[in-house]
Chain A
Amino acid sequence: MNTVVNQTKLHPYSRSVSIIGVGCTPFMNTVDDPETEGLTEGELFGYATMEAMQDAGVSPKDVDFYFHGQAAPMGSDYITPNIMAANWVGMKGKGSIHHSEACCTGYLALEQAVNAVASGKYNVVLSGCVEFGDAIAIPYKPACFRRKMPMNEFLETTRWIYDKAYTLGMMAGPVINFDDSAEYYARTYGLSVDEMDTVICHMALNNRYNAVHHSLAIVKEDFPEIAKKAGYENIMDYMKSDRENPKMGEYLRLLGTEIKCDGAAAVIVCPTEMASQFTDQKPIEVLGIGSACLESSNHNLEIHATREAVRQVYELTGVTPEEIDLMYINDFMIPSQLVAAEIAGYLPEGEGWKYISEGRTRFDGDRPINTNGGRTSFGHAHAASGLADLYEAVHQMRGDCGERQVKKLPKTVMLRGFGGSQNVTAAIIRTKEA
């Protein structure tokens, strides 16, 4: 492959920064349920933020600056939604920045907050993201008035993430994204189309198993139950049924893609040395975040950009793949799980598909991935999903996930962000021992 990927050398933060609080709303389709119909972006952002503040032991007065992330303006009809958000969370007058990196927004939300504190400019920074991925704001009506966003209308908006100079016109880039990583993996490691299909179905099954145990996930029913109701005794017959689970391309199937939805999540960071002023919980230090971007005319862009982001963060931190205890991977196209985990060295190269097929990447396995159920089953509130992963990672690292707790208390976690055709990040966070 001849794709050019320029490299970046990361430098250490000017001071250590840690996560001290996280918050997350349920991921949901608000307009489908009378209980949630009428919720607004201010309210979702507010609930996630209040939880993060209470978790961190800070008040709005303690927060020096906030970041606000949202992927697409259709859900809110705003292009500067950060301004309105302040009213809801007791931070009128505080400075803020709005940012938007599509499905990678939530991962870069952490990056923004950490950089702001590491620079020395601010001590306590809030970073929150909110998305109405399933409901559209109605122009000129108050925010509680919304309508359902049909899938075809949502897919139309994906044109916003592709290059209009050449890529959209040449047509292949947006379409090849669906199968790019799956085709790469099958070709590189000698899996047939059917074998790769099986692996992809196993990833969807594992995500669903994780999600049905999580109270905030959008799905509540596991695939075996659904399959049985549909008359399938063998779960893989259901998963490979073109009627129940149609193919989106040559490899990817519908149940291996995101469930778009509404939701919000937030994080509070501060200098590690200040954490004990606010909370008795162990701070979770952000050791580093690697970043790389490649747009969709680049073949195997996810492979190349993930390699570069992962290379950066390993080089900066000195952390080795063997030290990673748990991994989160933005998997709105589920083959991402497999390729990113192998690139990070979390699963052995060329062997990861076996781990997945044996269920070892479920929360109760020995190499857990996406313990919340990922984008295909926790749901995908596009901007908020990255911080929802961080929320889950922090709770797993604290060991307070109850029946969903992974077997070995994770000390070091990697989060691989991906989105917007495509921003890629690789963050390593680690529990700071006293």
Chain B
Amino acid sequence: MKAAKMEKIVKTFYDQLEKGKIMGRRCTACGNVEFPPVFICNKCGCFETEWIELSGKATFQSLMVANGQTQKYQDLMPYGLGAVTLEEGSEVNALIGGITPENAEEYRNKLPAGCHAKIVQRDGYKTVMFEVDK
């Protein structure tokens, strides 16, 4: 019945990106890392999760080449799209910079391939995409 002090997860995530940090939430019970960060662990259902700074190291398991049709993301070309798994275990759909129609086959042949998180500026906020490891 008491007014809870509500933690701002989304705002904290974006505030930390401004400081160059990529944050997730780690379950205190099973260790599952939620990225992007949310309240409750989707793996075990535990209500307790805590902030963790992510290493940014990741791999991608699938790859589609962007064809440039999405006008809003033209400035990020060239890039691909795929399922990215973070070093901490979370999987998320993400943009993967550095993928071109010319090199896509090379990366497809060595999936899962290495990539790393990259903070990019959008209109009024920063967000996260990934970039292939060279």
How many Å lie between the Cα of A35 and that of B7 in the bound state? 9
List chain B residues, Cβ under 8 A from A36: 6
B51 within 8 A of A: no
A281, chain B: closest CB distance, angstroms = 14
List chain B residues, Cβ under 8 A from A59: 45
Mask for A115-144, Cβ within 8 A of B = 1, else 0? 000000000000000000000000011111
B8 within 8 A of A: yes
B29, chain A: closest CB distance, angstroms = 11
B123 within 8 A of A: yes
Q: A-B pairs with CB below 8 Å: how many? A: 84
| Residues B45 and A61 in contact, CB atoms below 8 Å apart | yes
B23, chain A: closest CB distance, angstroms = 14
| Residues B38 and A60 in contact, CB atoms below 8 Å apart | no
| Residues A89 and B40 in contact, CB atoms below 8 Å apart | yes
List chain B residues, Cβ under 8 A from A51: 4
How many Å lie between the Cα of A142 and that of B16 in the bound state? 14
Interface of B is mostly: loop
List chain B residues, Cβ under 8 A from A144: 8, 10-11, 14
List chain A residues, Cβ under 8 A from B40: 46, 50, 60, 88-90
Interface of A is mostly: loop
- Which residue in A38, A47, A88 is a CB contact (below 8 Å) of B11? A38
Mask for B1-44, Cβ within 8 A of A = 1, else 0? 11111111111001000000000000000000000001111101
A271, chain B: closest CB distance, angstroms = 21
A11 within 8 A of B: no
Residue tally, chain A, CB below 8 Å to B: 37
How many Å lie between the Cα of A288 and that of B38 in the bound state? 36
List chain A residues, Cβ under 8 A from B41: 90
| Residues A87 and B4 in contact, CB atoms below 8 Å apart | no
Given contacts A59-B45, A88-B39, contact A25 B6 (CB under 8 A): yes
Given contacts A50-B47, A60-B45, contact A89 B39 (CB under 8 A): yes
Given contacts A38-B10, A47-B6, A142-B125, contact A401 B1 (CB under 8 A): yes
List chain B residues, Cβ under 8 A from A43: 6-10, 39
How many Å lie between the Cα of A231 and that of B77 in the bound state? 65
| Residues B39 and A50 in contact, CB atoms below 8 Å apart | yes
List chain A residues, Cβ under 8 A from B127: 142
Residue tally, chain B, CB below 8 Å to A: 26
Mask for A244-283, Cβ within 8 A of B = 1, else 0? 0000000000000000000000000000000000000000
- Which residue in A26, A87, A401 is a CB contact (below 8 Å) of B3? A26
| Residues B1 and A215 in contact, CB atoms below 8 Å apart | yes
| Residues B125 and A141 in contact, CB atoms below 8 Å apart | yes
How many Å lie between the Cα of A103 and that of B40 in the bound state? 29
Q: From A216, which residue of chain B is reached at the shortest CB distance?
A: B3
How many Å lie between the Cα of A12 and that of B110 in the bound state? 62
B window 58-107: CB within 8 A of A = 72
Q: From B17, which residue of chain A is reached at the shortest CB distance?
A: A142
A145 within 8 A of B: yes
How many Å lie between the Cα of A263 and that of B14 in the bound state? 22
| Residues B39 and A141 in contact, CB atoms below 8 Å apart | no
Question: Which A-B residue pairs are the 3 nearest by beta carbons?
Answer: A38-B11, A90-B40, A144-B11
A residues contacting B by CB (< 8 A) are: 25-26, 35-36, 38-40, 42-44, 46-47, 50-51, 53-54, 59-61, 87-92, 140-145, 215-216, 395, 400-402
Given contacts A42-B38, A51-B4, A92-B42, 15 further A-B contacts (CB under 8 A): A43-B6, A43-B39, A50-B39, A50-B40, A60-B42, A90-B41, A90-B42, A142-B127, A144-B8, A144-B11, A144-B14, A145-B125, A215-B1, A216-B1, A402-B1
Some 19 contacts from A to B, beta carbons below 8 A apart, are A25-B4, A35-B5, A38-B11, A39-B6, A40-B8, A40-B11, A42-B38, A43-B7, A47-B39, A54-B47, A60-B40, A60-B45, A87-B42, A88-B38, A90-B39, A144-B10, A145-B124, A395-B1, A401-B1
